[in-house]
Structure 1
Amino acid sequence: MRSKKDWGIGDISGMGLWIDALAELNLDLIQLLPVNETPPGVACPYTALSAFAIDPIFIAIDDIPELEEFPELKEEIASKKFQAGLRRLRASKKVQYNDVKQLKFDILWKLYCRFHERHILKDTHQADDFFAFGEKNACWLNDYALFRHLKDTHSWASWTHWEEPLRRHDPAALKEFEAANENQVLFFKYLQWVIDRQWRAVKDKAAAKGVLLMGDLPFMVNQESADVWARQNEFDIHREIGAPPDAFSETGQRWGLPAYQWQETEKNNFEWWRLKVKKSEDFYDLFRIDHLVGFFRTWVIPHDVALKPDFDIKDAKEQRERGRRFLEAISGASRMLPVAEDLGVIPPFVYEVLNELNIPGYKVMRWEKKKDGNYTEPENYPRVALATSSTHDNEPMADWWDTVDYMEKKLFWAMVSGGGEKPPVFSRSRESVVRKLLRAASSLVILPIQDIFGSRDRINLPGTIGTANWTYKFPTPAENFLRKHRELLSRFAAMVKEERK
């Protein structure tokens, strides 16, 4: 979500500009990928080092109020050398995560030091607000801030290699470490406070414009996360999760993430997840439940090669009951609407539970078929559902259109056009596809920006690692969006108004 003022990656304040633009197009929902902090060198948002902490890379530094109290820092940012670095990051066609993060953290540390001097040491109202935020969020913030600085002091070595008392999260050892590193630990709490202030302002703006924000809560966090370190009894680092072999992968998938200790997580009625959902309510109105089927049954791969991968529960009845217990627990944890990512190989009982609990699942236009092999008209999708043309894990419609089997394309176009004529090239069929999706009976419809514009820029290719994944930037900043694409967007806004009555 680029803006002219960003520092090489979309930021929280820039999201406010996009809210303005999208409201003008009669749109009332923005879906975001996960925004939790990731380790250095990791772009994938589904391997976070905290389930709660937002990545400071999204802070809009120019909009931090304390910057006005620091003229020397404003001069540094305005300098020719610094601005040249910003221009390079803004001009990059891909997000340069490491460079952006290093640049921002350097400035944020200086801002925190000034905040500490001007406010914390003088007990100002701003300091009171900061410490009140810390108390309200202590259930996750204390461990996160300690973990982040411990990672820095151990040169990002695995927490499993730390000194034994710190490794096992010993309270006395942690208290001693915090006392010796108070300022550095407070710094990471300060970053989350800054994020909280900025995000709440944007959420208030969205509410005033009638725009809802939909977040994404990943199924799991990185083994190298504050959560796994602080709740070691609830995670199994000797096994990892993934997906079984299917039509897309003959060998299945390994995600490099730890498995749950389900017996432990259920002892406190999924407390960690309930806390995560409750915290997310500060930022979102709806949330996507990533990898829904994993809560019913998880594909687990032991690190011991003598043991075979398998589902953690074999009995279908037990799978059904665990998934239902989980969904009931998190549905009652906040006022947000959950939306279940129920794609892939899904047992029928998963859909039954979603229907019983009135939780929307996904309807991806290109994957919805009738028993006779023809595509399902979006007008016949269920009301309680989210309809979309693509997801972040598959190719945009333009690429799919060019590569899909001709007979499949012909069937799809017959559903879109209502006729049997030859399917045109995607540049001529795109608006018909968009209009057809907008006619979906589903209460929620998401249109990926690539499919609105017919772009072929992919966000992620599962099973691959590289700079092409998770680094996508929309080429136009928010300030120029409506003006530069006025003709296309005017037609699109009219379609939305007409079809989503």
Structure 2
Amino acid sequence: MATNFSFRPYGEKAYHTGTAIPVFSLKSDRDFGIGQFSDIKLLADFCHQAGLDLIQLLPVNDTTVTKTSKDSSPYTAISVFALHPIYLDLEPLIKHLDTKTLKNYEAEKKRLNELSETDYAAVITGKLKYARLAFDAVKKDLLTDIAFKTFVKDRQFWLPAYATFNYLLETFETKDFDHWAGYEKFSQEIFESLYQDDKASDFINFQFYLQYLLHQQLLEASDYCHSLGIALKGDIAIGVGRYSVDAWENPDLFNLDMQAGAPPDAFSTTGQNWALPTYNWSAIEATDFQWWKDRLKTMATYFDAFRLDHILGFFRIWEIPETSVRGLLGHFSPAKGFTVEEIEYFGIPYRSWGGDARFTQPFIKDWVIDRIFGRDNRDMVIQNYLNYIGFENYEIKAEFQDQRVLQELDIDENIRQGLYQLTENVVFIKDHANPNLYHPRIELMDTISFAEFGHNVQQTLRWMHDDYYYNRNNHFWKEKAFEKLPALITSTDMLACGEDLGMVPTTVPEVMDELKILSLAVERMPSDPSQFVQNLDNLDYLCVATPSTHDTATLRQWWEEDYETSQNYYSNVLHWYGPAPHPINHDVIREIIRRHFDSNAMLVIVPLQDLFALAPETTIADINSERINDPSDPLNNWNYRIHLPLEELLQKTDLIGKISELSHTTRRSYHHVY
């Protein structure tokens, strides 16, 4: 790595400072309606001038399935190895276009670049169209080019499967490879057979060509960053798509009948369902983690550090049945559930009170229906969705027990949410792999089923719930993490950083510290729930500190969400007098960022939108236009673009000066740890 610093903990330069922005959010005069790999070089110029030495990106892997905004989330990759064609810079290819096509290209480019947000469908369709025309012009010579042939040869462990997947996706017009008759699982024989067909081989070679160009452009951007002493930090999503190349090629490595997600947290009161299969870790470990090692080594071609998304998933993952839409019916996996004998030992007469029928099936009586839906809707709900089973009890009709079915019904949204709540009105959840083990339903104390029990039983259930989530499994999860993480993080020289937000087991910090994996500190999301905000003065060195993330509101949005919170921060954290200003002013923004820069965290990474708020010349009026993702909105489109081209940003001397001043007058300038 051609840098003037050692990007390692306790290195010659101890403290590093950077900015975070997705590639798709960048903007330059070269673009075709979206940020692209070549824009990273312009961003590096900006960082260099401002005294920053790190750029953090979101995942850059291919997510293309529908060629619409449904593909816009960078966390729904169809391949953990392939780069996204949408980040291809077309400018080096336009020399292959004829005069009429070039004119159309320039007009389309101008229209798309003038949009404030990405027209995803138009961008990906256009890029593939013009790249295909360039390929047609060069393919005869390309297939004999030594550099191209070497690129393809060196990536045989993923590239043929990826290209074949895309061909079959186009052929069958569905990503569901379970319906690809005769092609339900990848094999080398399938690739070689299809490659004999002229149409298929032409399509496959085009996929090779795209990946070849993308590799060159990202590597060029990485090398340029290094020449300026700037490191690149990538992002490794915890999961892969259910219908991805990886699941098609290696189905044994995944639990395809399960979904990964997260229990209720600050982002969602009903939990998160990422609709991604969970890992079959025993099968992965049997291969000495080869798939994971290949993934990391591929990433290390371009990046110096990586953010390990949801590192808690390497301790345990929140596993949700494939029939669920929301996350409340999940349980941690692996986890030590309770046996019936244990439950009864603690004083709950499980079997004599109805066993599974009472504790794991939805508890539904007339008064429960009234409470959820209101008395006026009771008869309608019973008639349409429930069966009476005697003793004043009801069950949900078989055809409506699947939340995915409820999601598609054309019904009032309040009724849909009530039906979800009915399916979730349980006390225990059977282990997804071992039906003899039982897990307390997350936040079971909030269920109507729990409310029906007497005080003593409620106390016992509450204790079992808290013991399960905060004590019983901690050492077990620590063992599971040590079975996986050492092999992965030592497979490359990249600096490992973990995203350890959420319901964090007490053993996570000690594991991360022992393995020298940097933790994440978001000031407004303290690791200690009793704190108002994260105490920046007491951060550990092995830490990434940030005021915001791509999943949170920006600083300016956060300040306006709750005036009481803003005032509390203004008075008791900043220790400034008087009423907190609304909207937030540049002085407050500067002080928040300065406090981060002066923290002991090895890395401080400030989202580019928060840096924009430092100076009037880069502050825009619409604070809501700068948010990247809202985890509570499953229909969120990831289409944010910065409001000014990078070429123009490089001329914003006031902003650059303000960042540079902070970089050189705070702990960020130190070369050694004190």
**Are residues 1:62 and 2:230 paired?**
no
Change (3 A) 1:304 1:55: closer
State the secondary structure of the residue aligned to 1:475.
coil
Contact 1:377 1:415 in 2 (8 A): no
Contact 2:267 2:632 in 1 (8 A): no
- Structure showing greater radius of gyration is 2
Quote the Cα distance in structure 2 between the aligned partners of 1:248 and 1:7: 33
State the secondary structure of the residue aligned to 1:142.
helix
Q: Aligned residue for 1:479?
A: 647
Contact 1:8 1:95 in 2 (8 A): yes
Quote the Cα distance in structure 1 between the aligned partners of 2:533 and 2:87: 40
Quote the Cα distance in structure 1 between the aligned partners of 2:36 and 2:247: 28
**1:9-28 paired onto structure 2 within 5 Å:** 9-28=34-53
Paired AA for residue 544 in structure 2: L
**1:46-445 paired onto structure 2 within 5 Å:** 46-64=75-93, 67-68=94-95, 70=96, 73=97, 75-79=99-103, 81-120=104-143, 123=144, 127-164=145-182, 166-180=183-197, 181-303=200-322, 308-315=329-336, 316=473, 317-368=475-526, 373=531, 375-406=533-564, 408-414=565-571, 416-419=573-576, 421-425=578-582, 426-428=584-586, 429-445=588-604
Q: Which runs of 5 or more structure 1 residues have no equivalent in the other structure?
A: none
Contact 1:239 1:301 in 2 (8 A): yes
Q: Which runs of 5 or more structure 2 residues have no equivalent in the other structure?
A: 1-25, 337-472, 614-622, 670-674
Quote the Cα distance in structure 1 between the aligned partners of 2:532 and 2:329: 38
**Are residues 1:470 and 2:629 paired?**
no
Deviation, 1:353, is 0.2
The one of 57, 62, 78 aligned to 1:32: 57
Deviation, 1:304, is 5.2
Change (3 A) 1:77 1:209: farther
Change (3 A) 1:5 1:170: closer
Q: Aligned residue for 2:628?
A: 459
Contact 2:48 2:230 in 1 (8 A): yes
> TM-score if structure 2 supplies the norm length?
0.69
What RMSD over aligned residues (CA atoms) do the two structures have, in Å? 2.0
Quote the Cα distance in structure 2 between the aligned partners of 1:482 and 1:49: 35
Deviation, 1:394, is 0.8
Bigger CA drift: 36-45 or 283-292? 36-45
Q: Deviations over 1:204-255 (max 9, x none)?
A: 1111101111100101111121100000111122111111234543322211
Paired AA for residue 43 in structure 2: W
Change (3 A) 1:248 1:282: closer
Contact 1:13 1:63 in 2 (8 A): no
State the secondary structure of the residue aligned to 2:256.
strand
Quote the Cα distance in structure 2 between the aligned partners of 1:270 and 1:404: 46
> TM-score if structure 1 supplies the norm length?
0.92
Q: Percent identity?
A: 30
Deviation, 1:378, is 2.0
Contact 1:461 1:469 in 2 (8 A): no
Quote the Cα distance in structure 2 between the aligned partners of 1:29 and 1:299: 32
Q: Deviations over 1:399-444 (max 9, x none)?
A: 11111351x3234224653445433331241111111111111010
State the secondary structure of the residue aligned to 2:243.
coil
Quote the Cα distance in structure 2 between the aligned partners of 1:60 and 1:198: 8
Quote the Cα distance in structure 1 between the aligned partners of 2:543 and 2:279: 28
